[in-house]
Structure 1
Amino acid sequence: MTIHRRGLLGAALAMPFVATASAQTWPARSIRLVVPFAAGGAADSAARTVFPRVSEILGQTIVVENRTGAGGSIGAAAVAQAAADGYTWLFDASSHIVNPSLLRNLPFDYASFVPVSQVASFPQVIAVKDAFPARSLAELIEAAKARPGELSFGTQGNATAGHLALELFQSQAGIKLTHVPYRGGADAARDLAAGTVDGVLITALSAGPIVQSGRARMLAVTVTERLANWPAVPTLNESGFPGFDMSEWVGLVAPSGTPAPIVQRMYGAVAEVLKEQPVRERLAQLGAVPVGTDPEVFGRFLREGRGTMARLVREAGIQAN
């Protein structure tokens, strides 16, 4: 087969035009949004709150697809292997920065995804059962030091944001708690209300109902600012743990190679939606705080997060189930 240099040059010059034309006509058909977690959870609820409006702005249907399993890596793998044409996206959570340190032999690299935006965060709280004597974080730490390893604390699961925040809290407080992993924050909250565990470190969304019912009480929140719905609950930052800021979060990424103009257009639509008051109010009802960082800021957040999580996983000896 004879290949002429003129033909190669023409093809090379045409490639940027093709990419630009593709970006200008995008989206020309429906878009698939993969949520690698079960329907009804925090990530799924946030996706179904934000992306119907994104769909309206872009003028194409966005189909939410729940692809669960292996801590979110099944859905992530499906997106990593999809065409980088702007028609498949991943709406992931904190497992996106934990899994690289936890799972081996993955068929893709989490670092290869193109960051789009951190859409929202879900602040977490430290709460104890109503019968527990501690009325403050200081009293909880004092009790834990007096009974090392005896106090049980539930989280939404092994290697979740709650588990990692709990490990960091123990390390900084110089205490030892017994970790009880659940299959979600709702299950942990249910057992806290029943008195099965002494405390939990889960999202405010999951803990809120039992705190409101008087069956538990919050001692601290794990983010740097007090929560609007719980203004009397201090932050860990102001309770002797400066800089402590660990929440669950959800964000949007795309397969490696997705054209920058398409990424920017999707980001623009998401950012616009997150400014809308009805969407913000619905996210607040879910216990979420709208974020909307741009691709550059979100990319930096992911890189720094992978480093932090790698250190936590290593120091705490956390292993995949």
Structure 2
Amino acid sequence: MTTRRGVLAAASFALAAPALAQTRQVRLIVSFPPGGSTDILARLVAPVMERHLNATLIVENRGGANGAVGMGALAQAAPDGSTFALDAGGAATNPHLMRGLGFDYATAFAPVTRMTILPALLVVRSEAPQQDFAQFLAHMRANPGRESYGSSGVGTGSHLASALLMRRAGLEATHVPFRGGADQLTALRRGDTLFTFSTIPTIAGGIRDGAIRPLAASTPDRASAYPDVPTVAESGFPGFGVYDFHALYAPAGTPAEHVERMAAAGMAAMRTEELRGRFSQLGLEPAAEGTAAFTQFLSQQRDRMGALIREEGIRLEG
């Protein structure tokens, strides 16, 4: 009898072992290359999330096409709770800008939780005479069509924030897209463009050394890293808010218990006190929220960005 029980126990353990192995590792696709804010966020929160999940997070960078490459990999993953993705604001804009992706942003994924808001600041170079947002508006109104603004690419948050401001304020300016934030900032500092919206990690050094001057924030609330900089919304344009965000997603069809467990881990990480200083340094505003709230936010953000993209006739180049 003892031998028989031992054989049965061993058989039961052998059958359970694969299931246990699946729950001990979770693949986290990061839809941007190493070194950027999305990647840094993933590696900051991974240890905290691992403790809550009782699992090892395997971070896998799959950058390209404003996050679409990584999200494409997620769309092909099995919906068994073993694979998730951390993406940025492209989840709200890419559906309106890209065709032939091989997946539908609206149906291929299960929203898990929003992690951050990534504010952008409207900045000019320090030599520019505009000392504040009111002077900037006055200058633009006095010089319709004579100034230009840079962005990190067509359809990016920096482009859309500027396009929305031009529309809301009745201003005219020429859009100059660049390959990324570094080129966008170089052009501003040279005086090739008058202004740009840029995320805080890209411009913090220029603000510190006095090379550029922040005039307004793109978010509904002031950026915690620059509390003295007013928002566009409070400066005469209520409701203005264009910004990137980081969020977790699962493949569509992932069981609700896996989604909720990952959401709880993500929210716990964003509420961890010892990480708040690093979030502030990176210009990330924690925005931990449950799955239902995030799903509603994402739907509203897609509708809002889609309307702006259509109104402005924005198309990807090439």
Q: TM-score, normalised by structure 2?
A: 0.89
Deviation sequence 1:173-231 (CA, Å, 0-9, x none): 10112222223323322332333322110112222211121111111011122223322
Aligned residues of 1:274 and 1:290 also touching (Cα < 8 A): yes
Report the Cα distance in structure 2 between the residues aligned to 1:160 and 1:51, rounded to whole angstroms: 27
Aligned residues of 2:29 and 2:61 also touching (Cα < 8 A): yes
Report the Cα distance in structure 2 between the residues aligned to 1:236 and 1:35, rounded to whole angstroms: 31
In the TM superposition, 1:218-229 aligns within 5 A as 218-229=214-225
Deviation sequence 1:6-27 (CA, Å, 0-9, x none): xxxxxxxxxxxxxxx9xx9696
Matched, 1:94 2:72: no
Say how many residue pairs are matched.
Answer: 299
Name 1:44's counterpart in structure 2: 39
Name 1:265's counterpart in structure 2: 261
Select between 133-142 and 91-100 the one with higher mean Cα deviation. Answer: 133-142
In the TM superposition, 1:127-206 aligns within 5 A as 127-206=123-202
Letter in 2 for 1:162: S
Select between 257-266 and 267-276 the one with higher mean Cα deviation. Answer: 267-276
Letter in 1 for 2:98: L
Aligned residues of 1:26 and 1:262 also touching (Cα < 8 A): no
In the TM superposition, 1:1-321 aligns within 5 A as 28-112=23-107, 113-321=109-317
Report the Cα distance in structure 2 between the residues aligned to 1:102 and 1:228, rounded to whole angstroms: 31
Q: Tell me by how many angstroms 1:151 deviates.
A: 1.5
Q: TM-score, normalised by structure 1?
A: 0.88
Aligned residues of 2:24 and 2:54 also touching (Cα < 8 A): no
Aligned residues of 1:26 and 1:86 also touching (Cα < 8 A): no
Report the Cα distance in structure 2 between the residues aligned to 1:42 and 1:184, rounded to whole angstroms: 14
SS of structure 2 residue aligned to 1:153? strand
Aligned residues of 2:153 and 2:159 also touching (Cα < 8 A): yes
Name 2:9's counterpart in structure 1: none
Report the Cα distance in structure 1 between the residues aligned to 2:32 and 2:316, rounded to whole angstroms: 17
SS of structure 1 residue aligned to 2:84? strand
Report the Cα distance in structure 2 between the residues aligned to 1:296 and 1:237, rounded to whole angstroms: 26
Q: Which runs of 4+ in 1 moved over 3 A?
A: 24-27
Report the Cα distance in structure 1 between the residues aligned to 2:301 and 2:79, rounded to whole angstroms: 24
Identity of aligned residues (%): 39
Report the Cα distance in structure 1 between the residues aligned to 2:22 and 2:146, rounded to whole angstroms: 56
Report the Cα distance in structure 1 between the residues aligned to 2:254 and 2:42, rounded to whole angstroms: 20
Letter in 1 for 2:291: P
Aligned residues of 2:148 and 2:173 also touching (Cα < 8 A): yes
Aligned residues of 1:32 and 1:65 also touching (Cα < 8 A): yes
Q: Tell me by how many angstroms 1:67 deviates.
A: 1.2
Letter in 1 for 2:72: A
Aligned residues of 1:27 and 1:58 also touching (Cα < 8 A): no
Q: Which ranges of structure 1 fall in alignment gaps of 5 or more residues?
A: 1-20
Report the Cα distance in structure 2 between the residues aligned to 1:144 and 1:311, rounded to whole angstroms: 25
Select between 31-40 and 51-60 the one with higher mean Cα deviation. Answer: 51-60
Aligned residues of 2:48 and 2:268 also touching (Cα < 8 A): no
Q: Tell me by how many angstroms 1:146 deviates.
A: 2.3
Aligned residues of 1:54 and 1:270 also touching (Cα < 8 A): yes
Q: What is the alpha-carbon root mean square deviation over aligned residues?
A: 1.8
Name 1:10's counterpart in structure 2: none
Letter in 2 for 1:213: D
Deviation sequence 1:70-129 (CA, Å, 0-9, x none): 222121111011100111111111110111111113211111211111001111110101
